[in-house]
Amino acid sequence: MLAKDVNNTVRNNPKESLSVIIKAMQMKTDFLNSLEINTEEDVKKLFDVIFYAKRHYNEIIGNNGIDKIKLAFKTLRNKDLPYGERVKAFTLLKASEPEDIEDMAREIIHFLEPEKYPLWTRWLWNPNKNSGSITYILKDGVVLKNEKDYFDAVSELREILSIFGLDSPTYYYASIFLVYSYVRYVDYATLLAVDRKGGGLYPSHLSTTAMVLGLKSFLRVIQLANS
């Protein structure tokens, strides 16, 4: 299903950066699994770890109130419910940009159960436009048609990454790869790439990847712990 690009290079030895990002992702998983929504501050904590959702915090609070958000998050965290039912419950929250709330729901589920569900946002795969970073690595002629196709493609990506030493019981490495690919694409598209000739991992892009993954606060904790 996936096309393999053998031209990727590695520069500046990003292993340490990757290990820190993985550690921050695990911290985010632990945080979301322990978070209880009882106050507006709790809601703010939730929105603060979702990069693109921060700007919706005031609107979501104003349109829905604590009780509705609490119930939606409780349903989202219910691992006994089907994936789609959990996402749907969260997207019932009133929002001017419901697609961001749907992305948020899928991202939260990924971090709640990273060993079971891959990260899925519109910039990784948008089924309405058949776009997103997963499409950059598909074999010619392969078109994802549904949720199962996307999950299967990311599962295959995880297997390929494991061959190159990025082995994990979770989808963390696959998430980093897909978000990193998106970040690189945006840089190219806006003519801001650090090095338009290289295809390797650059620390600046890894930093942006971590930011898009909503890891800023967790990276700060790691930095303080190591200072």
pLDDT per residue as tens digits for the range 1-25: 544 333 333 345 567 888 999 999 9
pTM exceeding 0.85:
yes
- What are the pLDDT digits (tens) for 167-210? 999 999 999 999 999 988 776 655 554 455 544 555 467 888 99
Q: What is the DSSP string of 146-203?
A: SHHHHHHHHHHHHHHHHHTT---SSSHHHHHHHHHHHHHHHHHHTT--S-SS--SB-H
CB 187 within 8 A of CB 205: yes
Q: Quote the CA–CA distance of 152 and 212 in Å, as a whole number.
A: 23
Counting beta carbons within 10 angstroms of the beta carbon of residue 191, is it exposed (0 to 12), middle (13 to 18) or buried (19 or more)? exposed
CA distance 69 to 41: 12
The answer to whether the CB of 151 falls within 8 A of the CB of 118 is yes
CA–CA separation, 165 vs 86, rounded Å? 33
Of the candidate ranges 7-16, 87-96, 135-144, the one whose mean pLDDT is the lowest: 7-16
